[in-house]
Amino acid sequence: MFETLANYTASTPDHLTVSVLLYFFMPAQLLFLLLNLFVQTAFSNEVVRISTGEWSPFVSEHLENKGILAHITKEAFAVKGVDVQYGFFPWARAAQFSKTGEWDGTIAFVRLKEREPFYLFSDPIYVGHYAFFHLKSTPFSWNDYADLKDKLIASTIGFGGMGDGFIEAEKKGAIKVLRLLSDVQSFNMLMAKRAAAVPSDVEVGYVLAKKLYGEKAILITHNDHYIQRAEYHLVISKKIKHGQDLINKFNSGLAQLRKSGRYQEILNSWYEKPIYKDAVPRKYLKLKK
C-alpha cells in the first residue's frame, strides 16, 4: 500500500498529494490523540480548587506548603489521590468565589449559622483558640460580653472565628466593634492605643505582631479567658455537584493522617519553624502536643 501510495503521490499535483496523505494518515493520528487523551484523563488525579486568603501561619502564599492548614489539607487529599490547587485572594473575594462555586471551597473556616446554607463542612482540620489581644500596659479582663461594653474592639471585616456569641453581641450592640479592612489595621489601632483589644486566633495574633513590630511585639499579650475554642474546617460549596464526595475523601484522608502519626509529624515540624519559634509562646504550643 505504501509503495502504491508513494508512486501515486509522486505523479499527482501537490494539493492532491496533501489530500491523499490526509486521507490515509489523519485517522491514525486522530486515534493516537484520542487514546493519549483517554490515558491522561484516566490516570490523572482529581483536582480540588481552593480559594483562600493570607492568614499566616495557617495559610499564606509566601510560606512553604502554603501554611500549616494548607499543608495538612494537601496531604489529606493526596492520600485519596486528589490534588489541591490553591488560589490566594482578599478574604472577601475568596469567600465569595467558594460560596458561588466558582472555586470548589476554602479552608480555615469556623462553623457559623450564617455559613450553613452555603457550605458543606469537613471534620476539623485543626483546633485553635480565639482570644483578646491587648497591650501589657493596659489591664484587660472579662468574664462575659457585658464587661466589654465600654471598650472599643478592633476587628477585621468578614472574620467570624470569634463565634456566634461574639457576632450576636456585636449585632445587638452589647459590645462596640470597629470593623477594619485587615488584621494589620486592627493591631495598629491597638498599638496606637486607639482600641482596647483585638480578637484573634492566638497563633495568628502572635505571628502577625512579630512580623509587624519585631522586638516591640513583646508589648502585646493575649487574655487567657478565651473567646472560644475554634475548629477550622475545609468547606466545599453546595453549588459543587460532587461536593459531598470531596468532603468524604478529605475526611477519610485526614483520619488516615491522624492514625498513621503523620498529622502530628506535620504539626511538630511547623512548631519548630522560625515563624512559630520566634513568635508564639512555647507554653501555648505545649498545650497542643
**Domain presence at residue 282:** yes
HEC secondary structure over 27-55: HHHHHHHHHHHHHHHHHCCEEEEEEECCE
CB atoms within 10 A of CB 229: 11
**Domain presence at residue 39:** no
The reply to whether 66 and 187 lie within a common domain is: no
pLDDT at 91: 87
CA–CA separation, 46 vs 78, rounded Å? 10
- Local structure of 288: helix, strand or coil: coil
**Domain presence at residue 67:** yes
pLDDT at 159: 79
- Local structure of 145: helix, strand or coil: helix
For the domain that residue 111 is a member of, what is the CATH number? 3.40.190.10
The reply to whether 85 and 145 lie within a common domain is: no
The reply to whether 223 and 247 lie within a common domain is: no
pLDDT at 22: 41
Task: Give me the number of domains the chain comprises.
Answer: 3
**Domain presence at residue 152:** yes
**Domain presence at residue 38:** no
**Domain presence at residue 71:** yes
pLDDT at 5: 39
pLDDT at 287: 56
Is 0.85 topped by the overall pTM?
A: no
pLDDT at 288: 58
pLDDT at 7: 45
The reply to whether 174 and 134 lie within a common domain is: yes
The reply to whether 54 and 121 lie within a common domain is: yes
pLDDT at 289: 52
Of 228, 251, 273, which residue sits at a domain end?
Answer: 228
**Domain presence at residue 54:** yes
The per-residue pLDDT string of the chain (289 residues; one tens digit each, 9 = 90 and over) reads 444 434 444 444 454 444 444 444 455 555 454 454 444 444 568 999 999 999 999 999 999 999 999 999 999 999 999 999 999 998 889 999 999 999 999 999 999 888 999 999 999 999 999 999 999 999 899 999 999 999 999 998 877 788 889 999 999 999 999 999 889 999 999 999 999 999 999 999 999 999 999 999 999 999 999 999 999 999 999 999 999 999 999 999 999 999 999 999 999 999 999 999 999 998 887 655 5
CA separation (Å) from 150 to 145, 162, 246?
A: 10, 19, 46
pLDDT at 182: 87
Do 100 and 235 contact (CB within 8 A), yes or no?
no
pLDDT at 106: 96
C-alpha cell at 209: 505582631
List the domain range (segments joined by +) for residue 201.
128-228
The reply to whether 158 and 220 lie within a common domain is: yes
Closest CA to 195 of 173, 179, 213: 179
Do 267 and 58 contact (CB within 8 A), yes or no?
no
Do 80 and 250 contact (CB within 8 A), yes or no?
yes
